[in-house]
Amino acid sequence: MPGDTRPLETAPCAGADLLIEAGDLSVRFGGILALSHIDLKVCRGEIVSLIGPNGSGKSTLVRAVAGLVAPTSGTVWRQPDLRLGYMPQRLSIDRVLPLTVRRFLSLAERSRPAELEAALAEVEAADLIEHSVHDLSGGEFQRVMLARAMLRKPQLLLLDEPLQGVDLGGQLALYDLIGRLRRRHRMGVLLVSHDLHIVMAQTDRVVCLNQHVCCSGAPESVQQHPEYVALFGPEAARRLAVYSHAHDHEHDLAGNPVPAERTSQGVGK
């Protein structure tokens, strides 16, 4: 809905469909106020994108939702027994030790070999299973990280900058893949990005963060919000408008455009 800048409290769910809810959440690290009075809900089956400049608290919010950072004040509620899949922004892997993709995944979650293979197949990376994680390209590594997050059969997927090291075509393809996974499994997805124009085709709601929630709502409405324009500049808002009108297709994992219907087939949408 253009011009819709309703706050997130109007998230379109309640009851069993509500996966997490942060209420008046603030997080302070010593003298640094990383998050200030955040309200956030994520529902089953929706993709919520967190955008904001460096240091705006995006990772802290994701980590608070995951229970890895304690609130200084306010609350984070998670649905009882909620299964979370978390893809961190950074992961240091000891390059000295040889490590295949298979071993890397099995270290993350005790899974049967068939489950590892299925998780890789879901991210269209089955052929990487015996590769060394050290030799993967940026895009391959991010897909393996996505498979790793999917191993827990999550109801909520937390993706902190899943596009790092991925070229533009690969970024669009990865987001299309995330969109298909969410439809297939009816997961909630909370994902972090610097760049709204890349995520918007797969995003239901956007939360623009700068310690506090600057604005939130449908992607088309957020781009027009004065706080979004103030944070990212009029050029970013203009680029976004062009992109939102042009994006009528999805991308295969080589980054090639394909009609939206084809990549969405068979995913139960």
Ligand X SMILES: Nc1ncnc2c1ncn2[C@@H]1O[C@H](COP(=O)(O)OP(=O)(O)OP(=O)(O)O)[C@@H](O)[C@H]1O
Q: Cα separation of 217 and 204, whole Å?
A: 8
Q: Cα separation of 70 and 139, whole Å?
A: 32
> Judged by CB under 6 A, does residue 36 bind ligand X?
no
Q: How far is the CB of 196 from ligand X (least distance, A)?
A: 14
CA-CA-CA-CA dihedral for 160, 165, 169, 172, to nearest 10: 0
Q: Which residues inside 71-130 make contact with ligand X, applying CB under 6 A? A: 89
Concatenated DSSP letters of 41-109 = EEETT-EEEEE--TTSSHHHHHHHHHTSS--SEEEEEE-TT--EEEE-S-----TTS--BHHHHHHHHS
Q: How far is the CB of 173 from ligand X (least distance, A)?
A: 22
Q: How far is the CB of 68 from ligand X (least distance, A)?
A: 10
Number of residues forming the site for ligand X (CB under 6 A): 12
Q: Quick one: 59 or 221, whose CB is closer to ligand X?
A: 59
Using the rule CB under 6 A, which residue among 11, 22, 34, 215 binds ligand X? 34
Partner whose footprint covers residue 85, from Mg ion, ligand X, none (CB < 5 to 8 Å by kind): none
Stretches 48-56, 76-84, 169-177, 255-263: which one binds ligand X (CB under 6 A)? 48-56
**Interface mask toward ligand X for 166-195; x: CB under 6 A:** ------------------------------
Q: Cα separation of 247 and 269, whole Å?
A: 19
Using the rule CB under 6 A, which residue among 36, 49, 56, 216 binds ligand X? 56
Q: Which residues inside 220-259 make contact with ligand X, applying CB under 6 A? A: none
> Judged by CB under 6 A, does residue 52 bind ligand X?
yes
Q: How far is the CB of 55 from ligand X (least distance, A)?
A: 4
Using the rule CB under 6 A, which residue among 36, 49, 60, 193 binds ligand X? 60
Stretches 47-55, 115-123, 164-172, 246-254: which one binds ligand X (CB under 6 A)? 47-55
Q: How far is the CB of 58 from Mg ion (least distance, A)?
A: 5
Q: How far is the CB of 48 from Mg ion (least distance, A)?
A: 16
Instruction: Please name the amino acid found at residue 43.
Output: C
Contacts 24+ apart (CB under 8 A), 130-134: 130/100, 130/101, 130/102, 131/100, 131/101, 132/98, 132/99, 132/100, 132/101, 133/93, 133/99, 133/100, 133/101, 133/104, 134/93, 134/95, 134/98, 134/99
Three-state secondary structure call for residue 154: coil
Place of tokens 């994701």: 62
Binding residues vs ligand X (CB under 6 A) = 29, 32, 34, 52, 54-60, 89
